[in-house]
Amino acid sequence: RDLRDPTCTSSKHSHIHRYLLDRSKLELLKVISRSTPVLSSTMATLLRQVASNTGFRALAPHTFRTTVCSSPFASVRRSFASDGDSRVIEVTDDKHVRSELASADGLVVIDFTAKWCGPCRKVAPHFDELSKEFQDVKFLKADIDNEELGITLRLHSVQAVPTFSFVKDEQLVSQLKGANVEGLKKAIAALTKQK
């Protein structure tokens, strides 16, 4: 019998069948990881699990980060970084978001973004500049690939990036989708009554 045949009932054959499937998934994910500029955290987790289950030491969980997050990723992280004067706060989880919203005195603008998103990288420096221009507004940046922000993403119904949410008194008052810098500036000015 073909060991890849799912109808194979022998426990030894079933074990080999699972191993071959896991090995196939691993090979597929390795190809995807080479062709994708940045792995999402979900894909990275899956790749770690498959590597762990199949016993491949080259991609074992303790070496995974070094193996996958090599030079191509460093350049993306650099392009995503803010300069020293930026007032943008990168939120790390849902609790962090709640804390920042609760401590805000006025308008909060949340930039829902992703490292792999070209328009997000294009608008990022303008978002930093707006954080300096509108000193009475709190600016947050949330990476949609961060699994710790799941509740926040659902509450804001984020379906595209970049998406900008405008929050007052912990309530969502408006949203803007797309890398529209002028529209973003006008929305902030209107919501803060600044000219």
The one-letter code for the residue type at 157 is: S
Cβ atoms of 74 and 42 closer than 8 Å: no
Q: What is the largest CA-CA distance in the chain?
A: 76
**What is the DSSP-derived secondary structure letter of residue 12?**
H
Q: Could you tell me if residue 157 is left (phi over 0), alpha (psi between -120 and 50 degrees) or otherwise beta?
A: left
How far is residue 173 from each of residues 60, 178, 188, measured CA to CA in Å? 45, 17, 11
Other C-beta atoms lying within 10 Å of the C-beta of residue 192:
15
Which residues are catalytic, by number? Answer: 117, 120
The one-letter code for the residue type at 144 is: I
Which tokens is 54 given? 């199949």
Q: Helix axis angle, 181-192 relative to 118-133, nearest 10°?
A: 30
Give the span between the Cα atoms of 52 and 120, in whole angstroms.
33
